[in-house]
Amino acid sequence: MCLGIPGRVVDMVDPAQHLAKVDVNGVQRAISVRLLAGTGLQVGDWVLVHVGFAMARIDEDEAKLTLDQVRKMGADYVNEIEAFNASEIA
């Protein structure tokens, strides 16, 4: 199963290459935010992350609701967090 997991942007690592560091459940990774180029993405914003890419910008309430629902999924949530851990862009 493939899920989008909410993450909070904690740093714009390389704006020229559209790379940002996001925090997902305490795990921080560099991801591509190229799909959100031109949207004014900033540190502190929430994004929906899937396999190393920010797919959409979401608000904090939506992020919290989504995280709560994903946590209820049990093993699928754990698998998605493990996939996120392995998806860092070098």
Q: What is the pLDDT of residues 46-77, one digit of tens each?
A: 999 998 899 999 999 999 998 888 777 777 76
Q: For the chain, which residues make up each domain, given as ranges?
A: 5-85
Q: What is the pLDDT of residues 70-87, one digit of tens each?
A: 777 777 767 777 777 777
d(CA 76, CA 81): 9
d(CA 21, CA 10): 6
Closest CA to 90 of 13, 6, 12: 13
The pTM (predicted TM-score) of the whole model is 0.78
The domain over range 5-85 is classified in CATH as 1.10.3190.10: no
Work out the mean pLDDT of the chain and round it to a whole number. Answer: 88
